Structure 1
Amino acid sequence: MNTPLPPKEVTCRCGNSFTSQQHSNWCNKCGKQVFYDPKDQRKGDISKLYLTVLMVLVIGFLTYFFIEMILTPVLSNLQ
Structure 2
Amino acid sequence: TQKDSTQAKVEAKQPSAADTGRILRGVTMRTGPKNSAAAIVTIPAKTSVQVMGCKKWCQIVYNGKRGWIYKSFVKTGA
TM-score w.r.t. the length of structure 1 is: 0.29
* Greater gyration radius: 1
Structure 1 or 2: more helix by fraction:
1
Name which structure has the greater RCO, CA cutoff 8 Å, separation 6+.
2
TM-score w.r.t. the length of structure 2 is: 0.29
